[in-house]
Chains A and B, each alone.
Chain A
Amino acid sequence: MDWVELIRSSRLLATSSDPSQEALRRAISTAYYAMFHALATSNADLIAGAKSPTNRNQWTAVYRSLRHYRAENPLHGWNRLFSQPVQRFANVIGSVKKRRENADYNPDAVFYQNQVIVLIDRAERAIIDFNAASPQERSMVAITTLAGQR
């Protein structure tokens, strides 16, 4: 999944004239998935190597290993290990995930168009900054977000 396209879809939903609450809800959810899939792609690229015909199965296996709970929570526990951009990514994906839960499941939640536009902008900036972090640091992120605990 291409996070750039997901952000674009999210923005299309949020910036239409007079969007419905349903459109705003889908926009929030799509912005979250943009962040989730950006992280899954980074993890797969760093653990399995850039996707190619020879490593396709391994790459996809790593990509699909990411769980929603682990997409942000472990990073908070280890936040002093990570640079500011990675910490910002962890905080923003946590916030967007929280909003996404409301958007997808809480019928009483109300969203404002401008609020959602800011949320999408924040998600996009957080992904760009995260992807600019060093491969070494993002490898640590991959291990932290993929490795389970007994």
Chain B
Amino acid sequence: MITAQQADQAKGIVRETLGVHNRQSVRFLDVLTKADEDFDGVPFIDVVLVYDGEPGDLDIGILNSYDNHLLTALKDAGINAIPCVDYVSQSDIDQLGAPWTG
């Protein structure tokens, strides 16, 4: 598993790479990151992108491309973890609370 410090560093990388989403109409309000691993012990980094809008506002092709971009950026920074990115709308967080804090 990567360290909490690397997870925090990854948060900065996520913010720097959000430009990949430029063609989308949604606005990203916050980024949450947490170091984790899957059942096989493969290091992951959980990423939650909080956006202002509804699922229909998101371009799914861009979301899937963003994963590739982020994985490369993390590797280039020496963070060997697979990003697991979730898109959570601010309205859901307002109603149900944050998924986790990291």
Contacts and interface: CB of A to CB of B under 8 A. Distances in A.
Interface of A: 69, 73, 76, 79, 84, 87-88, 91-92, 94-95, 97-99, 101, 110, 112-115, 117-119, 121-122, 125-126, 129
Contacts of B58: 118
Interface residues on B, range: 20 to 34
B34 to A, nearest CB: 12
Main secondary structure on B side of the interface with A: mixed
Given A94-B82, A95-B85, A112 B64 contact: no
A113 B86 CA distance: 12
B82 A118 contact: no
A110 B99 contact: yes
A122 B63 contact: yes
Nearest to A70: B40
Contacts, number: 78
A79 B40 CA distance: 19
Contact of B60 (A69, A98, A121): A121
A117 B55 CA distance: 7
Contacts of A97: 38
B71 interface: yes
Contacts of A129: 64
A94 B38 CA distance: 9
A73 B84 contact: no
A100 to B, nearest CB: 10
B8 interface: no
B96 interface: yes
